[in-house]
Amino acid sequence: MAKAACNLERGIDLLLALARPPASVEMAPLSEALGRVLAEDCFAGIDQPPFDRSPLDGYALFHGDVAASDKENPAVLTVSQHIYAGDTPAGPLAPGEAARVTTGAPLPPGATCVARQENTDYGEEQVKVYVSLKKHQNYVFRGEDLPAGRLVAAKGVRLRSAHIGTLAGQGFTQAAVYPRPQVGLLSTGSELAPAGEPLPPGMIYDSNSYTLAARVREWGGQAQAERGIADDPAKIAAALEAILAERDLVATTGGVSVGAHDYMPRVGEILGAEVLFHGLGYKPGGVALALRRGDKLILCLSGNPFAALVSFELLAGPVFRKMAGQTELLTPRVRASLRGDFPKASASRRFLRAKLVGGEVFTERDGHGSGSFSSLTRCDCLIDIPAGSPPMSDGAAVDVILL
């Protein structure tokens, strides 16, 4: 098996070239569609709002009738009808007439603006209007929010609450979405004890399979985990074989480095898998090994919990999004200003956990060591420090990946 030399971007390209987009579409009830990926462009079927309406409580009127109104010389109009939200107007306004309206009420023909009730005497049969109004002042046009036929959300978009609400406003009850990607996870290491059981000496609880499964759920997918397979290449290969039968993407953790019990390269050989790359040169977690078996991808990641998460984010993230049918595949990045400093020179590319606030990014004072994981609970991003960087000081411009 050839061991391909690679950098991160090339590695991602190799994986994306092999990852398969979704092969089917399903209808999801709108109430269940949050986080799903749209499988078709979605267009407005009706004007929103469906009629010209009042944006406030007041009086609908013809602007020409109040052209000269002010506090001293109010126009006096006849209140010819009351229109509440949900009503339909009884008929058009005649000259000199106003309609009492509530917020959301349809405006009658002849009304060209709405006087805010605070600018009137609140009259019931006759109303004094103390202000002049321009044509279409306080007036919401039919279709102003969304005209029928306009694109609401494009195929490949992951639905957020704003999409769900906009589609609901159109009266839609369901959305055409892609199936949720199914990701297999396998944690390996003879030191791993299952949660819920006493911890024998020298053992640790398996956390990686939980972290990565949770991340898959945050991405909108479903994960199936096989936990705590001992450092035994035959056992790992058998477990992988079983999980590969059902999943297109499997991530393993542990045993991928150069230690005596780092068996993942050997597991790849047992499975007859092709090595796409082994080692991408970044820290932490750059020891990642990517295997291909038929049309299935296996990402073998470091067991170190922070390194595993970094690599999963960088490598599995784009693959997942392609499998999900999303159009934005690459991990979202922003530029930010470093707060504090990072006193180490960095020969290799390095990902540093941090917290982004406004345009400023704060590194973790304590707990940025590779053995530390819990500090991530205070972080929400990774700073991407390029290879060959000198120590970085306060105010440096850095690239940040949002988690």
**Distance (Å, rounded) from C-alpha 76 to C-alpha 98?**
9
* Closer of 143 and 255 to Mg ion (Cβ): 255
Which residue, 103, 100, 88, is CA-closest to 60?
A: 100
Determine contact, residues 192/206, Cβ cutoff 8 Å. yes
Determine contact, residues 19/145, Cβ cutoff 8 Å. no
Residues making contact with ligand AMP (CB under 6 A): 187, 189, 191-192, 204, 206-209, 253-257, 259, 302-305
CA 148 to centroid of chain Cα atoms: 27
We find the least distance from the C-beta atom of residue 280 to ligand AMP, in angstroms, to be: 15
> Which of 22, 189, 221, 268 touches Mg ion (CB under 5 A)?
189
**Distance (Å, rounded) from C-alpha 313 to C-alpha 305?**
12
* Closer of 120 and 302 to ligand AMP (Cβ): 302
**Distance (Å, rounded) from C-alpha 124 to C-alpha 168?**
36
> Which of 156, 254, 285, 318 touches Mg ion (CB under 5 A)?
254
Which residue, 295, 299, 296, 297, is CA-closest to 287?
A: 299
We find the least distance from the C-beta atom of residue 207 to ligand AMP, in angstroms, to be: 4
How many residues sit in the footprint of Mg ion (CB under 5 A)? Answer: 4
* Closer of 91 and 259 to ligand AMP (Cβ): 259
Q: Which residue is nearest to ligand AMP (CB)?
A: 303
We find the least distance from the C-beta atom of residue 214 to Mg ion, in angstroms, to be: 22
CA 340 to centroid of chain Cα atoms: 29
We find the least distance from the C-beta atom of residue 208 to Mg ion, in angstroms, to be: 11
Site for Mg ion in 296-325 (CB under 5 A): 303
When CB distances are held under 5 to 8 angstroms depending on the partner's kind, the choice from Mg ion, ligand AMP, none that residue 221 binds is none
We find the least distance from the C-beta atom of residue 157 to ligand AMP, in angstroms, to be: 34
**Distance (Å, rounded) from C-alpha 333 to C-alpha 8?**
15
We find the least distance from the C-beta atom of residue 231 to ligand AMP, in angstroms, to be: 8
* Closer of 177 and 249 to ligand AMP (Cβ): 249
* Closer of 230 and 402 to ligand AMP (Cβ): 230
* Closer of 58 and 255 to Mg ion (Cβ): 255
* Closer of 93 and 192 to ligand AMP (Cβ): 192
We find the least distance from the C-beta atom of residue 317 to Mg ion, in angstroms, to be: 24
**Distance (Å, rounded) from C-alpha 115 to C-alpha 341?**
57
When CB distances are held under 5 to 8 angstroms depending on the partner's kind, the choice from Mg ion, ligand AMP, none that residue 211 binds is none
Binding part of the chain for Mg ion, among 126-134, 188-196, 209-217, 312-320 by CB under 5 A, reads 188-196
When CB distances are held under 5 to 8 angstroms depending on the partner's kind, the choice from ligand AMP, Mg ion, none that residue 208 binds is ligand AMP
CA distances from 295 to 15, 109, 132, 275, 385 (A): 11, 63, 70, 13, 33
When CB distances are held under 5 to 8 angstroms depending on the partner's kind, the choice from Mg ion, ligand AMP, none that residue 199 binds is none
* Closer of 179 and 285 to ligand AMP (Cβ): 285
* Closer of 264 and 398 to Mg ion (Cβ): 264
When CB distances are held under 5 to 8 angstroms depending on the partner's kind, the choice from ligand AMP, Mg ion, none that residue 191 binds is ligand AMP
We find the least distance from the C-beta atom of residue 368 to ligand AMP, in angstroms, to be: 17
CA dihedral 136, 141, 147, 148 (to 10 degrees): -140
* Closer of 191 and 364 to ligand AMP (Cβ): 191
We find the least distance from the C-beta atom of residue 261 to Mg ion, in angstroms, to be: 6
Determine contact, residues 338/364, Cβ cutoff 8 Å. no
We find the least distance from the C-beta atom of residue 314 to ligand AMP, in angstroms, to be: 16
Binding interface with Mg ion (CB under 5 A): 189, 254-255, 303
